[in-house]
Amino acid sequence: MQELKTDILVIGAGSGGLSVAAGASQMGADVVLLEGHKMGGDCLNFGCVPSKALLASGKAAYGQAHVSAYGVADVVPQIDYAAAKDHVHDVIAQIEPMDSQERFEGFGVKVIREYGSFVSPTQVQAGDHLITARRVVVATGSSPLVPPLPGLDQVPYYTNETIFDLRDKPEHLLIIGGGPIGMEMAQAHIRLGCKVTVIEGMKALGKDDPEAASVVLGSLQAEGVAIHEDAMVAQIRGNTGGVEVVTENGEIYAGSHLLLAVGRKANIDRLNLEAAGIDHTRTGIKVNESLRTTNRKVYAIGDVAGGLQFTHVAGYQAGIIIRSALFGLLTKAKTAHIPWATYTDPELAQVGLTETQARARHGNALEIARFDYHHNDRAVADRKTKGFIKVMVVKGRPVGATIVGHQAGELINLWSLALANNLKMGQIAAMVSPYPTIGELNKRVAGAYFTPRLFENQTVKRVVRFVQRWIP
């Protein structure tokens, strides 16, 4: 057994773990990084990167068949599903060097390609290494949840970890789960020539603003995706090339392939958390506001800590941990300014409170500012007029923003900035946007907030009339 001592031990080389390892090492700490599977974690290999690459293939195919409105003849796209998957893996390969073992060893990080397991509150075993660390950061991420559905163990199925290796185009893809992953994969596959049925036990995109979600769901249905809500799965049956999903109400949905997209589970099974005195729940490791576990020498970051499961959240939390572990600063992770987006077409993005949440919390103090895409000149020129932006405002400050439409994932950045820095709507309105841009929507919705105050206010009108009589 080889014994090592280090300042910071990071378990898991996904987004959060890599950010901690790179930052801490470059600031002078001695860092050991453990990864038993793929460098880059879920986001690079099975999640954000491949899903957006496949969506890009679908968008290209859809574009060829829907360009007549621009004065260009529609054509029937010649889709090569295997080549689309080649594109996906090429994108991964291009990004891979940024997360590679060699790059991080260049930062001075000692990378050990083994899983880690606690043997004491300060010691972790990884292969034939026994590592003693002053601080440990658990960043093992999450994996697809595979529910114990009757018959599932007898039927071939895919998750986000395996679907990107499928090279034969599904004739009819059944997707269990109507969350962001399920809906993104539904649109990608319908546009690549597959028949797609989504089976959701509750409401599709149920965590998002219902009005905004309905815009996305309507678009997918218009493209041919069959979406069945309130359809709890009771049984799976069939075999390769022929799968049936039976719901509790007796409905039967038949397809050629099955994709599970019903959620995530924290990767804690290998960690032996009990040996380190670390408490956990069904959703992940328990942490406080500073991301410390019940063992004060151990932090947990990203998906494994429960909470919001997004790559950018893990990256944000990495900064919190670096300030705490390296400099001893009292830091707390916040979530009010954390945005998220679903990259369907149209996109759906949210930061802060939804309208429903804001009304429940702020009551009559809440004001809603809204602006529709069809009033934006660039959206009209690009024929991207479906959607809207609405901002929840309390005492002149935004407390949440919902955007559905073209480039919603880009537009939401400004509102994350606003919430992070407690900006006022007046400061957003003071921004000057180049014309014509989609980004002008953010300024225009701020203007919509002030419109009734300026143009419908009788006091303002009286003041203007008085001043006009007296100025030379």
Going from N- to C-terminal start, the domains of the chain cover 2-39+100-143+265-327, 152-262, 339-455
pLDDT band at 472 (very low <50, low <70, confident <90, very high): confident
For 307, the token pair is 């909470």
State pLDDT tens for residues 83-92. Answer: 999 999 999 9
State pLDDT tens for residues 388-402. Answer: 999 999 999 999 999
Which is nearest to 34 in space by CA: 97, 98, 120, 127?
127
- In CATH terms, the fold of domain 2-39+100-143+265-327 is FAD/NAD(P)-binding domain (3.50.50)
Domain 152-262 in CATH 3.40.50.150: no
Is the preceding omega at residue 144 within 30 degrees of 0, hence cis? no
Give binding residues for NAD(+) as ranges. Answer: 177-184, 200, 263
- Alpha-helical (H) ranges within 245-354 are 311-327
Give binding residues for FAD as ranges. Answer: 52, 116, 140-142, 303
State pLDDT tens for residues 161-213. Answer: 999 999 999 999 999 999 999 999 999 999 999 999 999 999 999 999 999 99
Is the preceding omega at residue 346 within 30 degrees of 0, hence cis? yes
Equal CATH topology for 2-39+100-143+265-327 and 152-262: yes
Distance CA 40, CA 434 (A): 37
Class of domain 339-455: alpha beta
Give binding residues as ranges. Answer: 52, 116, 140-142, 177-184, 200, 263, 303
Q: How far from 452 is each of 369, 448, 459, 460, 461, CA to CA, in Å?
A: 10, 8, 12, 11, 12
Non-local (6+) Cβ contacts of 144 within 8 A are 159, 160, 161, 260, 261, 263, 264, 265
